[in-house]
Structure 1
């Protein structure tokens, strides 16, 4: 297995790490609330999501949202507004709880009872690289059958574990060309 890129972009190539593209795609599949937390509608939607069950309230506390029920009610009624620090805590708690709630569902959809999901690798952008230094990198597809570690690392928001899982469980199956797809413009899959 080749070593990882140490000086990516030195000659003008552009792209993002493959695991970051996968995290973005999984975030899109999780269907987070679109309205920002800074608007009252987005704040209320997140607070309702975090307070509708005992399990959600416990997970929100574990994720760092530690305010009293009275304060929460004042926020929901619009009588008070949370500080910037609390808005950030609400957003982090919401994303953490949402990821944990949809992880099992996404895992079942992606694994598809052992059949896996077809993944599209869109190569990095070499338009700014001088012609003699450009490589021929083609669009590739691969059927990824084991999503367990990838989805678990995504749900825990562990960037290093997601990178390791993505490389060792997915891109290594590209064979000797896997290093060409460490950086990509995007990763596509449907679940």
Structure 2
């Protein structure tokens, strides 16, 4: 595995792991509450999302958000403010529960009944690398037909499994696949 044995950025190349770019894109597709959690409106919207049903409350509890109903009531009425720890717990639980809620839908949209989704891979930025050390890398695209492992790893928040699943996909680029382990961005839509 060529890309796993190098020191990325040693000569000035810039980019992110392809699996991280995929995770960012999946987060975008998952959508959600746009207002930041640090604002009252964004915080309360996330709490409302996590407490609107018994199933949501149970999922939030598993994700680490477990507060008393009275505390939630006080937050909504304005009688008390959440601590920084509570704000972080709400944001983390919201992301986990949101991912779990949209994962099945994303798999259906991305797999498209076996037709897959076209993925655009934009190569790493080599503008800071001296000329003799630059590689010839170009924009590439491929059609990913099986998204289940990628979405499952993203849903679980397992970066290592997501990286392994992504490497399994880019191997389809042929002998040059190691040049696309780090990228500036990965684009796809569903």
For Structure 1 versus Structure 2, the TM-score category normalised by the shorter chain is over 0.9
- Retained in 1: the 8 A contact 2:3–2:179? no
**In structure 2, what is the equivalent of residue 127 of structure 1?**
127
Alignment of 1:51-90 (within 5 A): 51-90=51-90
Structure 2: runs of 5+ lacking an equivalent: none
TM-score, with normalisation over the residues of structure 2? 0.97
The alignment status of 1:184 with 2:183, answered yes or no, reads yes
CA RMSD of aligned residues (A): 0.9
Runs of 4+ aligned structure 1 residues displaced above 4 Å come to none
Structure 1: runs of 5+ lacking an equivalent: none
The alignment status of 1:104 with 2:104, answered yes or no, reads yes
The alignment status of 1:4 with 2:4, answered yes or no, reads yes
Which stretch of structure 1 is more off in the superposition, 42-51 or 1-10? 1-10
C-alpha deviation, 1:30, in angstroms:
0.7
Alpha-carbon separation, structure 2, partners of 1:25 and 1:78: 35
C-alpha deviation, 1:32, in angstroms:
2.4
Deviations 1:9-30 (A, max 9, x none): 1111000000000000000001
**In structure 1, what is the equivalent of residue 17 of structure 2?**
17
